[in-house]
Amino acid sequence: METLERIIAGHPFFVDLDPKYTELMVGCASNVRFKRGDFIFREGDPANTFYLLREGKVAVETIAPQHGPITVATLEAGEILGWSWLLAPYRWKHQARAQDNVRAIALDGKCLRGKCEENHDLGYEILKRFARIIEERLEATRLQLLDVYALR
Amino acid sequence: MVPQQYLVRDVSKETADTFTLKLEPELGANGNSFRPGQFSMLWVFGVGELPISISGDPAQHDQLVYTVRSVGQATNALVTQAVGNGIGVRGPFGTGWPLEAAEGHDVIVVAGGIGLAPLRPVIYEVLQNRERYGRLVILYGARSPHDLLYRKELAAWARQRDTQVLITVDYGGMNWRGHVGVVTTLFKYARLKPSNSTAMVCGPEIMMRFVTLELESHGLDRSNVYLSMERNMKCGVGFCGHCQYGPYFICKDGPVFSYEQMRPMLEKYEI
């Protein structure tokens, strides 16, 4: 059976992470599963977790009154779900729903924030990796806003 | 330069504003042949003539197939033709996709919106000559699920061996269970071998600009990336100058160009 440590170290988000930091994170990690259609988190709820997706697809949704949920992005195995745990006021800005049966590693954000406060080197490593993800998603959002298929 | 009369044999609706027309020569099969990526000038009698990429199977010589989005008077007149009506056809014109250069390579097809139409002949060609090419990776983006072309074929292509089809939309709506995001976000799910791949890209220029940057960031050599450009072609043979684009005439020197040729132009505000 794969240990949490090996799973975390093998996830693309943590590629080349110093093993001493992986060890520190294992204490904040747990295996989780969601069935197709389950909410992983809901808009406005406290954001104290993030997920390393291992299997299945997740829709990140926003609620449009009179229209229901609108998917703004989709995420798959190998990707990270959620960064609101990292930034005050630690509330989810969107909701996430499993589009398939999903397997993931949940990392307790509160626990990890505590470890990052104690160990700034770990905090800097985590922040660098999340900054890259945030930049990628900001860029993707900008392209979506450009409506690139309409411009000639 | 003189149009030949073709007859409309079928008009099928792809999306709310996009239709696929099948045309056959009035005087029977004349061995139509074209290279994937080429276009024809289609003349709707009494309305006007317009350049349309050929979107059919290059191995099928008894008909020409075109996918047309209705955006104005001439295109609307074209897509509302009744079966049996006559259309004037000139061509095929222009350069094609570099299928010979791609032999032995993986072929990466990246399309946005109606940009899948000029690439569909490439997909037919690769799937019918599987031994000549490596893997086929199709990345296709559209504004919404309602704007996706050839949905049944996309599903069928995805079932072919050594073929990966990834589709994404900007706005999924309530019932869409596929990817959401622009076409560049699909690259992280594509199984690419950049050192041995040829990429063929077609879509709005802004989309192609971001796709080429993505291809470069994944390690594809610029010399193995090709784009199909679109301008207002008139004569189709480089005489009239309507489609001049920097030092090129899109109708004669293109519409397919290497990224190396187009790169300086894609960065300019205006040409």
Contact indicator for A75, A60 with CB cutoff of 8 Å = yes
A132 touches chain B (CB under 8 A): no
CATH number of A4-143: 2.60.120.10
Residues of B in contact with A143 (CB under 8 A): 182, 184, 210
Contact indicator for B180, A135 with CB cutoff of 8 Å = no
Tokens of B100: 């010979």
Task: Chain A: give the shortest CA distance to residue B44, in Å.
Answer: 23
Which residue in A72, A73, A148 is closest to B206 by CB distance?
A148
Residues of B in contact with A151 (CB under 8 A): 204-207
- Tokens 């220029």 sit at which residue? B205
- Single-letter amino acid, residue B26: E
Quick one: pLDDT band at residue A147, thresholds 50, 70, 90?
A: confident
Q: Can you tell me the distance from the alpha carbon of B252 to that of B244, in angstroms, rounded to the nearest whole number?
A: 10
* pLDDT number for residue B197: 95
Residue in chain B closest to A148 (alpha carbons) equals B207
Q: Can you tell me the distance from the alpha carbon of B245 to that of B16, in angstroms, rounded to the nearest whole number?
A: 31
Which residue in A70, A143, A147 is closest to B184 by CB distance?
A143
- Single-letter amino acid, residue B201: V
Task: Chain A: give the shortest CA distance to residue B188, in Å.
Answer: 10
User: Does the beta-carbon distance from A148 to B176 stay under 8 Å?
Assistant: no
ipTM above 0.90, yes or no: no
Sheet holding A29-34, edge to edge: A29-34, A102-108, A49-55, A80-81
Which residue in A57, A147, A149 is closest to B203 by CB distance?
A149
Is the pLDDT assigned to residue A49 strictly greater than 80? yes
Task: Chain A: give the shortest CA distance to residue B192, in Å.
Answer: 16
Tokens of B175: 């019932």
Task: Chain B: give the shortest CA distance to residue A118, in Å.
Answer: 34
User: Does the beta-carbon distance from B142 to A149 stay under 8 Å?
Assistant: yes
Task: Chain B: give the shortest CA distance to residue A93, in Å.
Answer: 18
pTM, whole model, 2 decimals?
Answer: 0.89
Q: Can you tell me the distance from the alpha carbon of B58 to that of B240, in angstroms, rounded to the nearest whole number?
A: 28
The residue with greater pLDDT, B189 or A66, is B189
Interface test with A, best of B18, B114, B170 (most A CBs within 10 A): B170
CATH of B4-93 among 3.30.360.10, 3.30.420.480, 1.10.10.10, 2.40.30.10: 2.40.30.10
* pLDDT number for residue B265: 82
A144 touches chain B (CB under 8 A): yes
Low-confidence ranges of chain B (pLDDT < 50): none
Reduced DSSP (H G I as helix, E B as strand, rest coil) percent helix, strand, coil of chain A, to 5: 40, 30, 30
List helix spans (H) across B135-194.
151-158
Q: Can you tell me the distance from the alpha carbon of B73 to that of B58, in angstroms, rounded to the nearest whole number?
A: 29
* pLDDT number for residue B31: 64
Residues of B in contact with A148 (CB under 8 A): 112, 141, 182-183, 203-204, 206-207, 210
Is the pLDDT assigned to residue A1 strictly greater than 70? no
Q: Can you tell me the distance from the alpha carbon of B183 to that of B189, in angstroms, rounded to the nearest whole number?
A: 11
Residues of B in contact with A133 (CB under 8 A): none
User: Does the beta-carbon distance from B181 to A74 stay under 8 Å?
Assistant: yes
What mean pLDDT is predicted for residues A82-99? 93
- Tens digit of each residue's pLDDT (9 = 90 or more) over B11-50: 999 999 999 999 999 887 666 689 999 999 999 998 999 9
Tokens of B96: 């094609």
Partner B, chain A 63-82, Cβ-Cβ below 8 Å = 67-74, 76, 78-79
* pLDDT number for residue A151: 55
Domain limits, chain B: 4-93, 106-228
Tell me, yes or no, if the two domains B4-93 and B106-228 fold the same way: no
B106-228 carries CATH number 3.40.50.80: yes
